[in-house]
Amino acid sequence: MLLDTLKALADPCRLRLVAILLRGEFTVQELTAILGMGQSRVSRHLKILTEAGVLSVKRQGTWSYYRISSAAGFFAAIRPALEPELAQLPEQAHDLAAVAALLEARHQRSRQFFDQHARQWDDLARTLLPVPDYRDQLLDLVPRGGMVVEIGLGTGGLLPALAARADSVIGVDHSPAMLDEARHRLDAAGIAGIDLRLGEMQHLPLPDRSADCAILNMVLHHAADPRSVLAEIRRVLVTGGQLLLADLSRHERELAREQLADQWLGFEEEELRSWLQAADFGGVTIVQVPPLPGQEAVLLIQAYTTKKETEHGS
């Protein structure tokens, strides 16, 4: 494996691919666009890196996402020394700009979809991708008091219940149309005092260590880069703060991409655990809510922020 890994990395194009995939997960088509190369050439390099154990493939319906392998091995051992060298590649600035443009395109598609379908969203999601009733289980995990932020609040279905539990509630969504629907819901219920803010989940309009609890309810599978979202949530939570996440377990309903703007067809428990660990979350608990016939399973995740080195002495 040592020799295979060294051979796989001994190519400028493959080093560029590794540097790019350290930033996230991408399909062959996306990597082709980032590199500006032919698909057959990119596919050949990906095959070599995958066979050497440097990369792994996550299949999501008809799409295949390449990512850095999480398996232990020689590459994992040399990765800390390799990453600073990859940052010095001549094409690094170009590749990072291309990655940023691609992720922004993912964001734009999502924003446009939700602005267009805000009024029909609740019925649309319930009809096209039914899930078991997990709402009460999620709300039972929300702590009493403190400041709670709901990220990707949609039409605001959880906000009244959150207002009854927390001292203060902030709702964040990237769609102005969704925020309008949430305001109408709160006005109709006679609920005041909830702060609704326009913002992206990877760039939250909140200061560092300001929230006691963050909630993502069926949101993460829309994220262009889930790992960056979890890292951003870690930034805004106080030390010992709580993350509550409800999302789809891995499924194969391909229609969810086109009809519900889903970026990911659910998640596997192990990948969520690894992302949370990388974002400095601990105390992770994952419970699967089993589906009834015709439904998809839901994962309820509870995690807590841990003390970072940079917070020592603060």
Residue-wise pLDDT for 257-276, tens only, equals 878 888 899 999 999 999 99
C-alpha 127 chain-centroid distance: 24
pLDDT of residue 196 exceeding 90: yes
CA distance 100 to 105: 9
Considering the chain, what is the average pLDDT of its residues?
91
pLDDT at residue 312, as a whole number: 38
pLDDT at residue 308, as a whole number: 54
Strands 168-173 and 211-217 turn out to be unpaired
Residue 144's contacts (CB-CB under 8 Å, 6 or more residues apart) are 165, 166
CB atoms under 10 Å from CB of 306, counted, come to 15
CA distance 171 to 149: 6
pLDDT of residue 124 exceeding 80: no
pLDDT at residue 306, as a whole number: 82
CA-wise closest residue to 234 among 166, 174, 281: 281
pLDDT at residue 127, as a whole number: 82
CA distance 72 to 53: 9
> What does DSSP assign to residue 276?
H
CATH, domain range 2-90: 1.10.10.10
**What are the structural domain ranges in the chain?**
2-90, 121-311
- β strands within 44-167, DSSP E: 55-60, 63-68, 147-151
pLDDT at residue 203, as a whole number: 93
CA distance 276 to 288: 17
pLDDT at residue 314, as a whole number: 39
| Class of the domain covering 121-311 | alpha beta
pLDDT at residue 287, as a whole number: 97
Q: Which of 84-93, 226-235, 244-253, 304-313 has the lowest mean pLDDT?
A: 304-313
pLDDT: is 51 or 261 the higher one? 51
Question: What is the Cα gyration radius of the chain?
Answer: 20
8 A C-beta contact, residue 174 and residue 223 = no
> Phi and psi of 187, rounded to 5°?
-65, -40
